[in-house]
Chains A and B, each alone.
Chain A
Amino acid sequence: MDGYHQHQYLEGEVRIPSGCAISGIIDRSGKRFSGSDAITSISVMHDRSNGLGGGFAGYGIYPEYEDFTALHIFYYGSEAKRKTEEFLEEHFDLINLSKIPTEKHRAITDEPLIWRYFVMPLPTKLASSQLDEDEYTARCVIRINKEIDGSYVFSSGKNMGVFKAVGYPEDVGAFYRLDDYKGYSWTVHGRYPTNTPGWWGGAHPFSLLSYSVVHNGEISSYDANRRFIEMYGYACTLKTDTEVITYMIDYLHRRQGLTLEEVSSVIAAPFWSTIECKDEEERNALTYLRNTFASMLITGPFSIILGYNGGLMALNDRLKLRSMVAAEKGDKIFIASEEAAIRIIEPNPDRLWYPIGGKPVIAELYTTGQGGAHGHQLPVSGL
């Protein structure tokens, strides 16, 4: 462990509530564009961050390795790197490994070693584990993060990558040279943690496999959620809201096979009084989901953008205690904490609306999803 961290609480040793800014852009035609729009967008909301964390997730950025898991790893010291690579070699075929290219930036300091690996599970290991590839990879990632001191996998999806650091998000974008990457969707986060340690791993997006979450708000249900999700093999090492949200989404969407709408009606379940108003079939379904996964209800203010292969989902808490705006222009869908963060990159959207609390906005590639941005909306007309 380096000196910086020896004198401070590590992320995960204390729970850090935080407020933030988020933004997300997707081109549903699959056209890839650089990270600079995301940087511009988040920079408008500078006041919502405090320089203690910023980060990006880009989807479609590694087309040449799309069948391989891209692991982005922070190392604090070469011993951590050695142990981790040993572990990786034991469990995966390593196709490519390199340092992630960065550019020195005066606002970004104390950087760890930042490495990238494109990997595929060793077929024999995978077979003997009796797990599917995702579960196998997820467990390996959790093990590294939990068991190898000084090593932290912060991105583990396919054809996607997370880039994050301590600093303002626009500086983080420059540091990682995101102009050089092209993706069909981007999410970005500026962080305003209310407790001191800003640790690189603690910045958003938080990611597991191809799921990445940027989050604005602070949830009051944290420990109820954490203690529940940890029953299912997850280890919440970072003690952040975003981490637990990501795991819950992974559990509900990937492992339980719920649709994203169903996931939303678990984690941002409608009030019972609202459920009562629904027709019988919907009422039964909503009651079933809320009751079955009662401990995954998230309370307190939050707005998140979930990135996944092929789409973005934005979701507000059911009281809509955090702001969120969405807009559409041609093939592109924009989501941000503030309208200005959209206008700065797209001054004249075709339409613009305020998503309703507890109801997801889902935007997917035409090829993988329905292609529309759907969900309940509070439209803003006159545009």
Chain B
Amino acid sequence: MHYLIIGNSIAAAAVIEGIRSQDPEGAITVVGEERQACYARPLISYLLQGKTDEEKMRYRDQAFFDKHKVTVLCETRASHLDAGTKTVALDDGTTLTYDKLVLATGSSPFIPPMEGLGQVKHRFTFLTLDDALALQQVVKGDSRVLILGAGLIGLKCAEGLFGQVRSITVVDLAPRILASILDEKGSAQVQEHLQQKGLTFHLSDRVKEFTANEALLESGTIVGFDMLVVAVGVKPNTSLAKEAGLAVNRGIVVDTSMRTSGKDIWAAGDCAEAEELVSGQHKVLPLLCNAYLQGETAGKDMAGLTEPFNQAIAMNAISFFGLHVITAGLYEGEEKLFAEEGSYKRLFVRDNHLIGYILIGKAVERAGIYTALIRNQTALDTIDFDLISRQPALMAFAKSVRQQQLGGSV
């Protein structure tokens, strides 16, 4: 039995663990494009900040691969997948055959066409370790940084660079920051926090034209910069799948066992498009937690244990300069709002279920209890919702449930 994993990040590590929980012997090969061994991409902003280093960033160390008897091919790109012959061609000219394949190819930055972009000398994306290292190379104390995109990646990049550069300006087309995960009030609160720190925002705006060191915005504003980071979004890496004729929408379509439409081919992580629990729709959820759970599910399924994973929900835990934000699910239906000094909480309820929340500041404590309400689709009339909406607490559950949770099996 030969398991082949294309991609060497979180999903890949989880696939390995999934396989090995069932099959201690089958051969496993990992093909990864990057130089570095398996690491967690979200950590790159912390690398810039100096909160971690390359060594600590490793998601699984070499001993992990040794223990699980995994062959890792780094800096190797899979160039072609033939589902019929069950072969994968590598860009070094060799071909690997597989019995079972998982595509964990992740995603790539999306760079929209922009006039004059080619003239910009220090131009970066911010997704990989190499991106961060390249950025680090040119950062100087007097650098002016322009970041396109006020989403998670752009702002984490801003936080990573903060203090090491002269100025940071963020431009986004949307009228508010973190528009994909926050509501207006939440955005405003975070924005205020960031502005207090010294970040400059140009929202509802876009770059019309670049020169070497300036960007002319549509509003007419001219922003001078020494370094440019483009962080407007990512797109799933689906080309291998498409070539092989697998069903692909935005991402590679998979079922709850992470099987693609192709025989003996699974997909997991940022490249995959699976059903989201709350909406019931197929979505790409580029979240580390999902990547892991999908990878684990795929790995187990490949090795013979089918344990469907159907609890994927959109969620994010992020912090900027000590201000923590945790969000999950959909922002629809009835809502309950609790806002006070330094704390913001909005809960979304539909049909007797919690379907989403936004928590900022102190309100993030024990957020997982809310997450579990969404995940487990707990009927709210079985718990003391009044109590739990004030404060996430097991107290809100019936005594028997508490006994099960705290005194029973886990």
A and B touch in the complex (CB under 8 A): no
B residues with CB within 8 A of A = none
A residues with CB within 8 A of B = none
